[in-house]
Each structure stands twice: as structure tokens, then as C-alpha cells.
Structure 1
Amino acid sequence: MRRLLLVSCSVAGLLALLPASGAVAVELPMRKAGLWEMKVLSGGSVPEMTMQQCTDATTDKDMSTAMAPMAKEICSKQDIQKTATGYVTDSVCGISGITVKSRAEITGDFNSAYTVKTSSQSEGGLAGAARDSNSTIEAKWVGACKADQKPGDIIMPGGMKMNVKDMEKMKALIPKK
């Protein structure tokens, strides 16, 4: 259950980074090319998780493009607003009978470091009870990608490697509403 909560917090934070759909869409800037370290802090009894992602401008743009249709299918609301200190996103997404309402505040820059603070409320699922959660993603640019990494590679805790370019394949696994 803890891992599911951590994953749902991470997904809410990542969805906050996707472009909003609508007539007047605010787009987040692309991150600086290279290796980014992202620390996910969820508080409470859920341990922090640190991952690294190798990226470039093309991969960041492709990730937004590939994930946007998936987000459009599972999210009934996705708003991004520019603020004096960064961006604020509000979203309502549903998957497998769970509805997640989230708000994320994004501060910093996309060249050296940024922070995504997300608060979310989920309802439904096996337990059926409403659950509130807060998470923070602290991202920092650490330099060039390592020699054995290609843009899109994410190194998860424990050394598991996946590539965001495979996300389109994951779309087929998401149940339709």
C-alpha cells in the first residue's frame, strides 16, 4: 500500500509537469539537457525515493507529447497557470476506479533546480476511503548524462532502468473509463 501511495504521488507530480490542454494553454519550459536527480519526498511513513533521468530537449518534448494523450484520457481537468514565482497546476484524474484531485506548485528554474509541491486527495479504489497526501519532488541538474545512458533513461531506486520513450506502450495497459 505504501508503494502504491508513493507511485500515485509521483504520478500526480509528473502529471503536473505535462502541458495543459485548452484554448489558452500555459506550457512549462523544457529542462536543461543532461542528468537530473529527482528526490520524491512523501512524508509520513513512506520513504523518500531518488531517481535520475537523462534528458535532452527532444526527449522532454517527446515525453510531453506522448504523455499528453494519456493524461487527456484519464484527466477531466488539467489547468496550468503562470504565477509570480513559477507555476500552479490543478488536475482531476481517474484510473481504475480511483479519482485523484491534485494541486501542484512548481518553483525554481528548469536549468539548475526546481521543486514540485503536490497536495492530492484520492477517493475510491479497494479501500474506498478518501485519502489526502502531500509530496515534494526536488529536482536538480547534476551534469552530463553518464556514458551508458541515453536521453529518456530513468534510473529507479535499486538500479532498475526504464526509458520514458516506452511510456506509449504503457498507455495500452490503462483501463478505459
Structure 2
Amino acid sequence: MRRLLLVSCSAVGVFALLPASRAVAVELPVRKAGLWEMKVLSGGSTPEMTMQQCTDETTDKDMSTAMSPVAKDICSKQDIQKTATGYVTDSVCGVAGMTIKSHAEITGDFNSAYTMKSTSHSEGGLAGAARDNSTTIEAKWLGACKADQKAGDIMMPGGMKMNIKDMEKLKALIPKK
């Protein structure tokens, strides 16, 4: 259950990185097509988690457009800035009575490897207590997707497989403000 909660919170963090609309001045680049390994390192007692995602240019672009309505519904602030070394994002999002303020610094080239270091502060929700979290995602391109994978597939630890294109269906589960 704790791992599922971590994945859910990571998904909210990913939503926070997506542009809220086409009017956003800066957008994150599209990743190179193929199989990406993403190693999630969280502070504290949460174990390291490694997952893989098969992507292509269309899926990365679609992910941005499909998730934008979700992010628009749950985030009151989403800023993306280009820096000399990459990108910086700042967001404030709310889900299930919890407010999450996030700051992320992303470096790398989106063709072979990138790193996202994020910090977040959450308040409210079921636990009610304030919580600070630091997460680092180290992503590297592995090559072509495997024969049994299609763009959007995410292979989670333990063999669970889901497709990011199905995430739009989760929008219906997120309570409105």
C-alpha cells in the first residue's frame, strides 16, 4: 500500500511538471523515442524503485496534452523556466484535501539521460500532518522498446504493467476543488 501511495504521489508530481495549457511560454522537451529506465530515489525509509517506460514522440506530446486538463484541475500554480543547465519547475497542486507545493530542477539532454531533483511540502489529506519529501529521478535511455511493449507502457517493480495513455481515465477519480 505504501508503494502504491508513493507511485500515486509521484504521478501527482509528474502532473505538476506538465504544462497547464498551450499558453505556457516554456515546455519541457520531448524525450528520445524508445525505452527509458527511471530510478526513483526518495529520502527516508522509502526504498529505491526502478521502472521502465516505452515512449515515442507522439506519446510524449500526447501525455502533455492529455494530462494538461488533469493538471489544470488540480494545480493552482505551474511555472516552468529554462535555465542555463536545464529547467526549473514550481507548482502548487491539491488532491483529496492535500496541498502539495513542489520545486524541481531538471538537468540532462532528454536524448540519453536526465535527472530530476524535486522537493515537496504537503499538508492536509488523510494524515493531516505536514510532510516534506525529497525525490530524485535518474532517467536513462536504454534503446529500442522491447517487442511486447507499446508506446506509453510503464513496467513497474514486481511486473505490474500500465499504460500512461490510460491515466486520462484516472481524471474521473480525482475530486474537484
Settle same-fold status: TM greater than 0.5: yes
- Following superposition, the deviation at residue 20 of structure 1 comes to 4.4
CA distance in 1, matches of 2:11, 2:79: 16
5+ residue gaps, structure 2, are none
- Following superposition, the deviation at residue 165 of structure 1 comes to 0.9
5+ residue gaps, structure 1, are none
* Structure 2 CA distance for partners of 1:9 and 1:175, relative to 1, 3 Å: closer
1:33 equivalent in structure 2: 33
- Following superposition, the deviation at residue 168 of structure 1 comes to 1.1
Moved over 3 A (4+): 20-24
SS in structure 2 at match of 1:145: coil
Pair 1:82-2:79 in alignment: no
2:45 equivalent in structure 1: 45
CA distance in 2, matches of 1:24, 1:150: 29
CA distance in 2, matches of 1:149, 1:57: 15
**Aligned positions, number:** 177
CA distance in 2, matches of 1:96, 1:13: 14
CA distance in 1, matches of 2:90, 2:13: 11
Identity within the alignment, %: 84
Q: Which amino acid aligns with 1:156?
A: M
2:163 equivalent in structure 1: 163
Q: What is the correspondence of 1:125-164 to structure 2 with a 5 Å cutoff?
A: 125-164=125-164
CA deviations 1:108-140 (Å, max 9, x no partner) are 010000001010000001221110000011000
CA RMSD of aligned residues (A): 1.6
CA distance in 2, matches of 1:20, 1:87: 16
CA distance in 2, matches of 1:9, 1:170: 13
CA deviations 1:17-48 (Å, max 9, x no partner) are 31244755201110000000001100210001
CA distance in 2, matches of 1:150, 1:126: 36
Q: Is the 8 A contact 1:21 1:78 kept in 2?
A: no
What's the TM-score, normalizing by structure 2? 0.94
CA distance in 2, matches of 1:149, 1:112: 20
What's the TM-score, normalizing by structure 1? 0.94
Q: Is the 8 A contact 1:16 1:104 kept in 2?
A: no
Pair 1:119-2:119 in alignment: yes
